[in-house]
Amino acid sequence: MSKLYLLRHFQSQWNKENRFTGWIDVPLSKEGKAQVKEVAKKIADIKLDSIYTSPLNRNQNSVLRILEEIGLKYPIFIHLEGKMKEWGRFIELNKEYFPVFVSEKLNERYYGKLQGLNKEEMMKKYGKEKVQLWRRSFSVRPPGGESLKDTLARVAPFYANYIKKDLKEGKTILVVASGNSLRALVKYVEKVSDEEITKYEIPPATLIQYQLDKDLKLQYKKVL
């Protein structure tokens, strides 16, 4: 059986301020940093083979803080695209280093013109129903941004090309990413309907465990 863990990053400063964040690269909040110890306790006894994350600071910082807390050997961040892939190549990866694979395919949903704006203020301006549609619907895009369907269109191929290969080898994988990129991954792994995914929430610091059979069919799920 292969095991897949999904972790939404710890609370960011803009989660705290109730802003649309998207691809804006904001840090963790003070409260987010305090969440590390509790999540690390849940991960400490898991024998991870590798981690996948995105280049966003809140995701990579969550990874670093977890690894530091559980005392795992130090990580090498291996970028899977762009100049960081070409020029940051490190071919001597061995058991002294822990591999963390980085791809912007795992970035948060792009919120377009809403990025940086307060959610409550947008509800007053456009109405609660419209803003909720932008935030949680499957196919409706926020102004100038991505829908969850668009996000799934980049997350699903990434999962198929990278994570699936590891899982088929029986590896235990942790994905540390953002709320909507993880919602897309949950939809793909669990085969959640377009309707049901609109009701699915993943708060910051949430850790989900999946157990998959040799054909990568879902056998077990638990929110830890």
Q: Is 139 exposed, middle or buried (0-12, 13-18, 19+ CB in 10 A)?
A: exposed
**Fold category of 2-223 in CATH:** Rossmann fold (3.40.50)
- Pick the catalytic residue: 9, 86, 96, 146? 9
pLDDT at 144: 97
Q: Is 108 a catalytic residue?
A: yes
At residue 89, the pLDDT reads: 77
141: which 2 tokens?
């895009």
Q: Does residue 79 carry a catalytic annotation? A: no
Query: What gap in Å lies between CA 180 and CA 140, rounded to an integer?
Result: 14
Among 31, 108, 120, 169, the one annotated catalytic: 108
User: What integer pLDDT is reported at residue 94 of this predicted model?
Assistant: 67
What pTM does this model have? 0.94
- CB distance 163 to 4 below 8 Å: yes
The ranges assigned to domains in the chain are 2-223
Nearest to 78 by CA among 106, 50, 57, 118: 50
Spell out the per-residue pLDDT of the chain, length 224, in tens: 899 999 999 999 999 999 999 999 999 999 999 999 999 999 999 999 999 999 999 999 999 999 999 987 788 999 999 999 999 877 676 667 889 999 999 999 999 999 999 999 999 999 999 999 999 999 999 999 999 999 999 999 999 999 999 999 999 999 999 999 999 999 999 999 999 999 999 999 999 999 999 889 999 999 99
Three-state DSSP at 187 gives helix
The predicted structure's pLDDT at residue 97: 85
For 60, 174, 198, the CA distances from 9, given in Å and listed in that order, are 9, 12, 20
DSSP helix/strand/coil, 23: coil
Q: What is the SS3 assignment for 64?
A: helix
Task: Note the pLDDT of residue 93.
Answer: 65
